[in-house]
């Protein structure tokens, strides 16, 4: 049996210590990398906020609060309501990958707002949406008095005028769920539109005209997802 010398034992011990130090350094490096990536991503993410205002735009935090003048940079959350006057426009960033534009004579309510779910209730007016891409775990619903639109796309417009509702999809798809009992969902796809009537019935999807598509795209392209 070969007997290790004192020098060999010291060498082996040093190697073991060196391996442990190396593993420790690798572990610390991984932890720091994850930490800095997290911090960087947090800085890159936009908090939900008002991002653009023109004209007479108001907001309030709840039904019991007074209406206040909307200003760029004001943080928003679930339960907030928004309304616009004539010749007015307001953009809201809901997540770092999602923003909407509220046009004149609109009233909108944020019924849900968190990393996995967004829901807006539109009582009147017109809303355009620009979404980079919804993750599989993210839901986006637009609710009106007659239907719920489950958004699966990235660009769309919802209009409510005189009891008539138009749902227009530029990119992606939208599943329309009428509030009528036992009604089956109707899906509208790229460059299609559908109308929802006062009684809750949903019209068969139709192709939009080139002029309609260009008009909606012009508005959506002007919506900024950052400040």
Condensed to tens digits (0 to 9), the pLDDT of residues 42-55 reads: 444 568 999 999 99
211 and 132 housed in the same domain? yes
Confidence at residue 55, expressed as pLDDT on a 0 to 100 scale:
97
The first and second tokens of residue 25, run together, are: 């350094």
220 sits in which H/E element: helix 210-221
User: Considering the domain boundaries, does residue 94 fall inside one?
Assistant: yes
User: Tens of pLDDT along 128-172?
Assistant: 999 887 766 688 999 998 899 998 878 999 998 777 899 999 999
227 found inside a domain: no
Does residue 8 lie in a domain region?
A: yes
Cβ-based neighbours of 164, under 8 Å, separated by 6 or more: 195, 196, 197, 198
Which residue, 44, 64, 79, sits at the end of a domain? 44
Q: What is the pLDDT of residue 14?
A: 76
Quote the pLDDT of residue 44.
Answer: 42
Q: Are residues 114 and 205 in the same domain?
A: yes
How many domains does one find in the chain? Answer: 2
pLDDT at 124: 94
Sequence-separated (6 or more) residues with CB below 8 Å from residue 203: 194, 195, 196, 197
Query: Which residue range forms the structural domain that includes residue 15?
Result: 1-44
Q: Which two tokens stand for residue 30?
A: 């991984």
β-strand partners of 193: 168, 206
- pLDDT on residue 41: 44
Same domain, 133 and 171: yes
Q: Using alpha carbons, select from 78, 72, 70 the residue that is nearest to residue 95.
A: 78
226 part of a folded domain: no
Query: Both 53 and 159 in a single domain?
Result: yes
- Whether residues 102 and 120 fall in one domain: yes
How much is the pLDDT for 182? 83
119 and 159 co-located in one domain: yes
Residues 105 and 40 reside in one and the same domain = no
Q: Are residues 11 and 113 in the same domain?
A: no
108 lies in the same domain as 217: yes
Please state the pTM of the whole predicted model: 0.77
17, 83: one domain = no
Asked if 150 contacts 139 with a C-beta cutoff of 8 angstroms, the reply is yes
Residue 137: predicted pLDDT? 62
Residue 214, pLDDT score: 95
**Cα–Cα distance for residue pair 213/190, rounded to 1 Å:** 10
**Residues 17 and 129 both lie in one domain:** no
Half-sphere exposure of 173 (CA within 13 A, CB side): 7
- Closest listed residue to residue 225, CA positions, set 87, 58, 46: 46
* Tokens, residue 17: 């210590």
| Spans in the chain with pLDDT lower than 70 | 1-4, 6-8, 10, 34-46, 135-137, 227
Same domain, 34 and 78: no
């Amino acid at each position: 049996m070969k007997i290790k010398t004192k020098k060999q034992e010291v060498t082996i011990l040093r190697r073991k210590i060196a391996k442990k130090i190396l593993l420790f350094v690798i572990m610390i490096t991984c932890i720091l990398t994850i930490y800095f990536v997290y911090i960087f991503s947090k800085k890159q993410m936009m908090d939900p906020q008002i991002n653009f205002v023109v004209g007479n735009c108001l907001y309030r935090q709840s039904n019991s609060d007074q209406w206040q003048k909307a200003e760029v940079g004001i943080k928003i959350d679930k339960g907030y309501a928004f309304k616009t006057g004539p010749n007015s426009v307001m953009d809201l960033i809901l997540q770092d990958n999602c923003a909407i534009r509220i046009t004149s004579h609109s009233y909108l309510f944020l019924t849900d707002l968190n990393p996995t779910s967004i829901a807006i209730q539109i009582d009147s007016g017109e809303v355009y949406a620009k979404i980079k891409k919804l993750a599989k775990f993210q839901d986006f619903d637009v609710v009106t008095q007659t239907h719920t639109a489950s958004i699966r796309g990235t660009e769309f417009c919802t209009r409510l005028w005189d009891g008539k509702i138009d749902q227009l999809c530029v990119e992606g798809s939208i599943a329309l769920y009428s509030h009528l009992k036992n009604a089956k969902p109707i899906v509208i796809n790229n460059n299609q539109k559908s109308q929802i009537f006062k009684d809750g019935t949903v019209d068969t999807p139709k192709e939009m005209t080139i002029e309609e598509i260009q008009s909606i795209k012009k508005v959506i392209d002007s919506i900024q997802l950052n400040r």
